[in-house]
Amino acid sequence: MRKSKIKLIAGFCAVAVTALLSAGNDGHAQDIKNRTLKFSFGQAKEHPMGMGAQRFSDLVSEKSGGKIKVNLFPNATLGGDNQNLSGARGGTVELTTMVTGALVPLVKEFMVFDFPFLFNNAQEAHALADGPIGKTLMDKLPEHGLVGLGIWDLGFRNLTNSKRPINKLEDIQGLKLRTLQIPIYIEVFNKLGANAVPLAFPELYTALEQKAVDGQENPVALIEATKFNEVQKYLTLTRHTYSGMPILMSKKVWDTFSADERRILEEAAFEAKAEQRKSSLAKDTESLETLKKTMQINELSADEVAKLRQIVQPVVEKYTTQVGDSFVNEVRSELNKIRERK
């Protein structure tokens, strides 16, 4: 009789433990289905964006008890930004990420992140993305078939080329420079005297190798990860624009998720964002040291940066009008608050 009671109690305990393992923090049973999601992005798996995506995948699996799997598709294997954006809006790609500028055709306000020389450092950009301005931008995405899960870090963009070191404004003139397929980038570099060549990222290495373009502009970690140093000799630290990377989910897919499943994705994206940003900043420093072994690297003087800023000011003014003076003023006001808090 005593043994029977012990077995019965043990059975109840096993059931209780199983129930707790399948419940949320507040003890209720979680509504989580078995799902497999595709996360497509343009960077290498070893790049901080790829590392962040892997951490996100691991966290989603952990928080869902292995029910939700996020499979990674790095190196633009499913296509470039345009294909990924179309896939996410249509529901054929569940998750993707791309530079803020790629979202401008949908939400014009994202363009502020592409204003040259707007941020003094990455911390300012992170604070702006995490504050009221970032929330305003995220809130505009659902009407375009997307759900924003935060903005990760790609870093400050710098110039490389195969022709000559860039020490002054005049050195940029005449260079065929690949830019993002985004109007403000094209106009900024044309204004600086370069011949801007908009080109999809997957085509860039070959274009540099075959001398179809002389140079390009990207963050240091991405330059190393994609081995542009094999086909580019000169790197100039201009830090002319900061690139944030919104994490985007298809709203069509999001709408099929339960509250518990949505919470898991939001929590995982938030936690992975902090780690991704930290690794991105560290990798930037590490990559610069690595590239010094194979590239000639220099940094523009403050006077030359001021010249560049002055030259491109008409472009900034033009796009300020397009974005909306009131929103740009909100951005600048928020940046002032961020700087005052330091």
Looking at the domain assignment, is residue 11 inside a domain?
no
Task: Measure the CA–CA gap between 146 and 69, rounded to whole angstroms.
Answer: 20
Among 286, 267, 284, 172, which residue's Cα sits nearest to residue 220?
284
What's the predicted TM-score (pTM) here?
0.86
Task: Report if residue 9 sits inside a domain.
Answer: no
Question: Of 277, 274, 245, 225, whose CA–CA distance to 95 is shortest?
Answer: 245
Q: Where are the alpha helices (DSSP H) in the chain?
A: 2-21, 48-63, 81-90, 122-130, 132-139, 169-172, 183-191, 204-209, 220-225, 251-254, 259-291, 302-323, 325-340
CA distance 199 to 222: 16
Residue recorded with tokens 């040259």: 116
**Cβ 246 vs Cβ 98: under 8 Å:** yes
Residue 16's pLDDT is what?
A: 43
In the chain, what is the greatest distance between 2 CA atoms, to the nearest angstrom?
95
Residue 250, domain member (yes or no): yes
Is 93 contained in some domain? Answer: yes
* Domain annotation covers residue 190: yes
Rg (CA), the chain: 23
| 70 within 8 A of 60, measured Cβ to Cβ | yes
Residue 149: inside a domain: yes
Q: What per-residue confidence (pLDDT) applies to 22? A: 44
Is residue 150 domain-resident? yes
| Overall number of domains in the chain | 1
Show pLDDT as tens, one digit a residue, over the chain (342 residues). 444 444 444 454 444 444 444 444 444 568 999 999 999 999 989 999 999 999 999 999 999 999 999 999 999 999 989 999 999 999 999 999 999 999 999 999 999 999 999 999 999 999 999 999 999 999 999 999 999 999 999 999 999 999 999 999 999 999 999 999 999 999 999 999 999 999 998 899 999 999 999 999 999 999 998 999 999 999 999 999 999 999 999 999 999 999 999 999 999 999 999 999 999 999 999 999 999 999 999 999 999 999 999 999 999 999 999 999 999 999 999 999 999 987
**Cα angle for residues 154, 211, 49 (degrees, 5° grid):** 15
Cα torsion for 81, 229, 310, 197, to the nearest 10°? Answer: -50
pLDDT for the residue numbered 29:
64
**Cβ neighbours, 10 Å, residue 13:** 10
Q: Which domain holds residue 233?
A: 23-340
Q: Which CATH number covers residue 203? A: 3.40.190.170
146-161 and 35-40 strand pairing: unpaired
Per-residue confidence (pLDDT) for residue 28, from 0 to 100: 53
Would residue 38 be called left, alpha or beta, if left means φ above 0 and alpha means ψ between -120 and 50 degrees? beta
At residue 85, the pLDDT reads 96
State the pLDDT at residue 342. Answer: 72
With beta carbons less than 8 A apart as the criterion, state whether 236 and 194 touch: no
CA dihedral (286, 202, 272, 137) positive or negative: positive
- Residue 1 forms part of a structural domain: no
Q: Which helix (H) or strand (E) holds 231?
A: none
